[in-house]
Amino acid sequence: MGLGAVLVSALVYGVVSRYVNERAEANIRNVMLTHRGLHRYIQENMHPTFFKAQADGQVGLDFYSPIIFSSSYIVRVMHGLYNEERVKDGRPPIYYKMASDNPRNPVNRATPYEAQLLRRFNEQRDLKEFREVTDIDGEPFLVHAMPFLETGQACLRCHGKREKAPIGLQNLYPGEGGFNEHAGVIRAVEIIRAPLSKERYAALLLTGGLLGGLVGLGSLTLFNRHLRSKVQERTIALEMEIVERGRAEQQVRILNQDLERRVDERTQQLKAANHELDAFAYSVSHDLRAPLRAIDGFSQALDEDYGETLQVEGRDYLHRIRRGCTRMGDLIEDLLTLSRSTRRPMENLSLDLSRIAQEVIQELRSTGADGRTEFVVQPGLVAQGDPVLVRSVLQNLIGNAVKFSSKVETPRVEVGMVSGSHPAAFFVRDNGAGFDMAYRDKLFGAFQRLHDAEEFPGSGIGLATVQRIVQRHGGHVQASSQPGEGALFTFTLGA
Amino acid sequence: MKKYILLVEDNPDDEALTIRALRRNNIANEVVVARNGAEALDFLMARGPHVDRDPGHLPEVVLLDLKLPKVSGLEVLEQVRAAEQTRLLPVVVLTTSSEEKDLVESYRLGANSFIRKPVDFDQFMEAIRNLGMYWLVLNQSANGRDGS
């Protein structure tokens, strides 16, 4: 990565600096060609005109002025002015020289570098220009050089032997410099040297800009790739998740099927068990009662036919046998009711609980089981449920209430609804013996009794039946009491 | 012709108690006992061992237990109602069962009454007394008119 960046930077810098150099070079070359054009103009137009004017006697033979006659002088001066303008413009001056190893003016004397260039141009005549980037005192410079004109016969008039040169020229240049030249020799080299630091700086800036852009682009590309790979990763993860989810769903389906199958099995088993229970209940109701009836019946027959021959004690035994039969008969009856309350198919009807309660109370009154009980039934109690089963609930609760309040001075049984309850909670309250709340849990268990059989006879199945019926309706039943302060039974039918 | 009762009962205890209850209620009519459903049908249809019997001389009432060996009480009832001769014969189902389905099925097959045998003999006596009073004394049987 790092190496790549370095390579790319180097490459970009190379390309950019080459471009910048080429532009600088083109500029310099233009300058040089302009200068050369000036030389040519002077040599081709001004020299013949001057010599003609001299020949015509219009100009004196001793007149000579470098201002109008020396192209190297004119170009140098012009270049000086050009540099002045450059400096005014905040640019570095450009070095220009018409370098010769035999100059008239010492400022034009070639440095060893320029002299070597001059020799090279003389040796390689096909070499028309030379350029080079070189460091001078640590600063980069572009050097551009061109051979000056090959000395011709016309040139020798001023550059040949001193004594043959125009008088004005001999007067102006006292030395041998610029004289004694030979035809066919390249007399000078024109050289321009321009600083490249600005261009380098520009190249660096450009490179930097380019590289910055490139880095930005690269970053974008990388980021894009990163994003793409992220998206791809997420896509793969999602696909896997979908597959996983599908597998999980499949498993759930299999589990569900298995569960359904097992529920079916259990339902079949339960149905079979229910069927057995049915058969058992039928058998109990039939077969258990018949011998009981025989015991009771023949005990009575014995009492009636032979009672007089028995002593009082013997007859008491017979009565005890018959009471036992009655209790057992009741027990079987209650067991059957309990069994039926579970097995019986349920109906769901609108029920007038107030009316059912009144009917139950009427039944109790008709058998004289109500004693002196005062009944209070709240009118307008309605509920949803199975008419037979709900009647059984009220029979049990009202029957219990009557039974357990039978020993108080003014027995009172109340049937009503807990105001504001939702779902509707119905209650049966008495002012009788009550029970100890510590045994509340045992209250609804089959065959659980909280009172002596002597005191309050019963099978202990009634409340178990109530609970089963209420639960089958999706409701709850609960009891609260204090011994001696009556009992309160509350039940709901469905949530 | 003498009025008599046909008691279809396989339990000898119940048979004895039923007869005793009838007697104690001063119902002195003859009680013919069949021990199972097949025997009861043979008797009523005057066939098998009872082939010599006058098929027109039917009991005033049949006291029919439901749970019987061989042919059940409900099957007996069904056949009695199916036969022209016994179509109108009063049949009182007298059973220990308190199953609702037995009660419903009995009435559906044409039972005239359904009485559940209570455990308490006093209640049983009361039931028999009412039964005898109604079917032997008060009821104008269709049998007599058909038979004579």
Q: Read off the pLDDT of residues A107-157 as tens digits, 9 standing for 90 and up.
A: 888 888 888 988 999 998 888 888 888 887 888 888 888 898 788 888 888
Place of tokens 């040949």: A160
Please report, in angstroms and rounded to a whole number, the separation of the first and last CA atoms in chain A.
Answer: 73
In a domain, B72, yes or no: yes
- What pLDDT score was predicted for residue B147? 40
Which chain A residues are within 8 Å of B118, Cβ to Cβ?
293, 329
* Nearest CB partner across the interface for A297, out of B97, B98, B124: B124
- Whether the CB-CB separation of A351 and A385 falls below 8 Å is answered with yes
CB contact under 8 Å between A297 and B11, yes or no, is no
**How many C-beta neighbours within 10 Å does residue A177 have?**
17
Tokens of A249: 């769903």
In a domain, B83, yes or no: yes
Least confident of A33-47, A407-421, A463-477, B127-141: B127-141
In a domain, B89, yes or no: yes
- What pLDDT score was predicted for residue A199? 64
So what's the ipTM on this one? Answer: 0.73
CATH number of B24's domain:
3.40.50.2300
- What pLDDT score was predicted for residue A328? 85
Q: What letter does residue A150 receive in the DSSP assignment? A: B
CB contact under 8 Å between A294 and B13, yes or no, is yes
Q: What letter does residue A186 receive in the DSSP assignment? A: B
In a domain, B60, yes or no: yes
- Over residues B43-71, the mean pLDDT reads 89
Task: Please give the mean pLDDT across all residues of chain B.
Answer: 85
In a domain, B77, yes or no: yes
- Per residue in A427-459, pLDDT tens? 999 998 887 777 777 777 765 666 665 556 666
In a domain, B125, yes or no: yes
By C-alpha distance, which of A289, A296, A290, A288 is closest to A322? A296
Q: Edge-to-edge strand order for the sheet containing A95-100?
A: A95-100, A188-195, A139-147, A130-136
Cα A215 from Cα A228, distance rounded (Å):
19
Cβ-based interface (< 8 Å): residues of A facing B? 282, 285-287, 289-294, 296-301, 304, 322, 325-326, 328-329, 332-333, 336
In a domain, B146, yes or no: no
Which chain B residues are within 8 Å of A297, Cβ to Cβ?
13, 17, 20, 121, 124
Which chain B residues are within 8 Å of A322, Cβ to Cβ?
121
Domain count, chain B: 1
Residue of A293, A299, A322, A339 for testing the chain B interface, max B β-carbons within 10 Å: A293
- Per residue in A243-268, pLDDT tens? 999 999 999 999 999 999 999 988 88
Q: Burial level of A87, CB count in 10 A (0-12/13-18/19+)?
A: exposed
| Residue of A282 and A292 predicted with greater confidence | A292
Structural domain that includes position B112: 4-138
Residue of A289, A333, A392 for testing the chain B interface, max B β-carbons within 10 Å: A289
- Whether the CB-CB separation of A423 and A495 falls below 8 Å is answered with yes
Cα A425 from Cα A491, distance rounded (Å):
5
- What pLDDT score was predicted for residue A28? 81
Q: How far is B131 from chain A (nearest CA, A)?
A: 18
Cα B13 from Cα A297, distance rounded (Å):
9
Residue of A280, A283, A286 for testing the chain B interface, max B β-carbons within 10 Å: A286
Cβ-based interface (< 8 Å): residues of B facing A? 11, 13-14, 16-17, 20, 24, 67, 95-99, 117-122, 124
Which chain B residues are within 8 Å of A305, Cβ to Cβ?
none
CB contact under 8 Å between A301 and B20, yes or no, is yes
Which chain A residues are within 8 Å of B97, Cβ to Cβ?
282, 285-286
Q: Does residue B144 carry a pLDDT above 50? A: no
The winner for highest mean pLDDT among A17-26, A164-173, B9-18, B92-101 is: B9-18
* Nearest CB partner across the interface for A282, out of B13, B99, B118: B99
- Sign, Cα dihedral of A207, A209, A212, A213: negative
Q: Does residue A277 carry a pLDDT above 90? A: no
- Per residue in B89-116, pLDDT tens? 999 998 877 677 888 899 999 999 888 8
- Please name the residue of chain A whose CA is at the shortest distance from the CA of residue B9: A290
Q: How far is A278 from chain B (nearest CA, A)?
A: 10
Q: How confident is the model at residue A2 (pLDDT cuts 50, 70, 90)?
A: low
Domains of chain A: 2-195 (no CATH), 226-343 (1.10.287), 347-492 (3.30.565.10)
- What pLDDT score was predicted for residue A453? 56
- Over residues A482-489, the mean pLDDT reads 83
CB contact under 8 Å between A291 and B13, yes or no, is yes
- Over residues A323-336, the mean pLDDT reads 82
In a domain, B144, yes or no: no
By C-alpha distance, which of A276, A398, A293, A411 is closest to B124? A293
**How many C-beta neighbours within 10 Å does residue A444 have?**
19
Question: For the stretch A417-438, what's the b/e string if a residue is b when 16 or more beta carbons lie within 10 angstroms of its beta carbon?
Answer: beeeeeebbbbbbbbbbbbeee
Cα B148 from Cα B136, distance rounded (Å):
18
- Please name the residue of chain A whose CA is at the shortest distance from the CA of residue B15: A294
Q: How confident is the model at residue A93 (pLDDT cuts 50, 70, 90)?
A: confident
Q: How confident is the model at residue A391 (pLDDT cuts 50, 70, 90)?
A: very high
Three-state SS at A84: helix
Which chain A residues are within 8 Å of B24, Cβ to Cβ?
304
* Nearest CB partner across the interface for B119, out of A286, A304, A325: A325
- Over residues A216-229, the mean pLDDT reads 85
* Nearest CB partner across the interface for A285, out of B97, B118, B124: B97
